[in-house]
Amino acid sequence: MLNYHSHHSISPARRSLGSVLVVFMLVLAIQDVHGQSVGAFTRLGFGARGIGMGNALVADRSGNSNAFYNPALAPFVKGQHLEMATAFMRFDRQLQHLQFGVPLERAGIAAGLIHAGVSSIDGRDTNGFHTTDLSTDDFVFFLGFGLRFTERVSGGINLQLFRSDLYDGLKPATSIGLDIGISAAVTRRLTLGLVFDDLLAKYDWDTSGVVSGGGSSSDRFPVRIRLGAAYEIADGRGRVVAEFESRVSRLDYREYSVALFGEVPLTAIDERRVDLQSSYLRVGAEYAFQKILTIRAGIDQIGSGGLSEARPGTGFALDQDVGSLKLRFEYAFQLEPYAVGTFHIVAIRLYL
C-alpha cells in the first residue's frame, strides 16, 4: 500500500564538495532502493550457523541458536558461552558479531554487538578528482532476557541500542529498539516461534548545519513480524526449520532535481511518505554426521523478487575440545542477491 503526502521545496544550489557528499549519502540512506531500508545490516543474520541455515531460526530450541533471532530462546542455550564471528565481503564491506550467553534455572540472558561498515569509499569533488577516502559505521548492541513460563512456553525481550555514523560533519544517529518473542513446543519434535522486531526504532537526522536547504528528518526501522517452525529429524541428529516474515517499512522518499529559475540553477526536492509491505520466506536444515561434524544449508530472503533476490547458503561446524576448553568452529558462505558475489563468515564459540 502506498500513501503519499507530498510537498516541494526549492533552495539555492551550492557547488561545494561537502554539499555533494552529504546529499549523496543521505539519499542512499533515506530512499527505498530495491526494497531495502534503514538498519539493513541487522537483517543479514547473526553468526555462521544462522547464515548457513537461511536465518530461519525464530523457533529453534536446539540450544545452539542465538537470542538475537528470538529472545524467548535464551533459556535453551547449552551453556555459558562466548561467540565471535567475522565476515569476508566484497566492496570493502565489514561485518562482525559478538555474543555472550548465560542460561539460568528457568531463564537465560544474552548480550551481543554487531558492527557493519564500508571503508575506502572514493571521495571526489565536482570535477571528478579524488579528495579523500570515506567510511561508514553502524552498530547495534542488544541485551536479551528470556523466561520459561511453563515447560512448553517461553517468552523474551531484547533491548537494542543502534548507532549510525555516515559522515564526519553529520551528527551520528542513535535509537532504541525492542524485540518481543515467544516460543512454544507443540510436540517433542515440533516447536513454533513468533517475534516482533525493531519496535520503536528510528534514526533522526539534522543536516541543517552541513548542507544548504538541509533540515530534520526521521527514518523509521521496518516493523517485522516473523513466524516460524522447527522440526527434529533422525532421532535429534538433524532439524528442518522454516520462517515467514511480513515487513512494513515507512520511508521518506526524496527526489532531487535541478531546474533553472531565470538564469539561476535551483535544487528542487520532492518528498513523499511511503508505506511499503513485503513478505519473505526462509528455510534451512542441519544434520550431525558425527559427534564433531555438522553440515548445514538454507535459503534466505525468498520473496516477490524471485531467485534474483534469494540468498542461498551452506556451512558446517566442527566441535573440538582443547584441554579443558570446549570449542566450536563454524563456517558458512552465502550467495548475495543481484550477482553481487559470495559472502563468507567464520565464527568461534567458546563454552566457559
Burial letters 151-166, b for 16+ CB under 10 A, else e:
eeebbbbbebebebeb
Q: Which domains does the chain have, with CATH numbers?
A: 7-351 (2.40.160.60)
The pLDDT, as a whole number, for residue 85 is 97
Of all residues in the chain, what percent are helix, strand and coil, respectively (each to 5)? Answer: 10, 60, 30
**Helices (DSSP H) in the chain: which residue ranges?**
17-30, 47-52
Q: Cα 277 to the chain's mean position, in Å?
A: 17
Q: Cα 55 to the chain's mean position, in Å?
A: 11
Closest CA to 141 of 156, 116, 160: 160
Give tens-digit pLDDT for 37-70. 788 889 999 999 999 999 999 999 988 888 999 9
Cα distance between residue 161 and residue 297, in whole Å:
31
Read off the pLDDT band of 7 (50, 70, 90).
very low
| Mean pLDDT, the chain, whole residue set | 85
Cα distance between residue 219 and residue 134, in whole Å:
22
Q: Which residue has the cell 510436540?
A: 187
Q: Is 51 exposed, middle or buried (0-12, 13-18, 19+ CB in 10 A)?
A: buried
CB-based contact 352:103 (threshold 8 Å): no
pLDDT at 30 over 60: no
Torsional class of 74: left (φ above 0), alpha (ψ -120 to 50), beta (otherwise): alpha
Cα distance between residue 85 and residue 63, in whole Å:
18
328 vs 306 pLDDT, higher one: 328
Closest CA to 238 of 318, 306, 293, 300: 293
The Cα angle at residue 105 between residues 47 and 107, in degrees rounded to 5: 50
pLDDT at 18 over 60: no
pLDDT at 284 over 80: yes
Q: Which residues contact 165 (CB under 8 A, 6 or more apart)?
A: 136, 137, 138, 172
Other Cβ atoms closer than 10 A to 258? 9
The pLDDT, as a whole number, for residue 115 is 96
Closest CA to 158 of 139, 142, 175, 140: 142
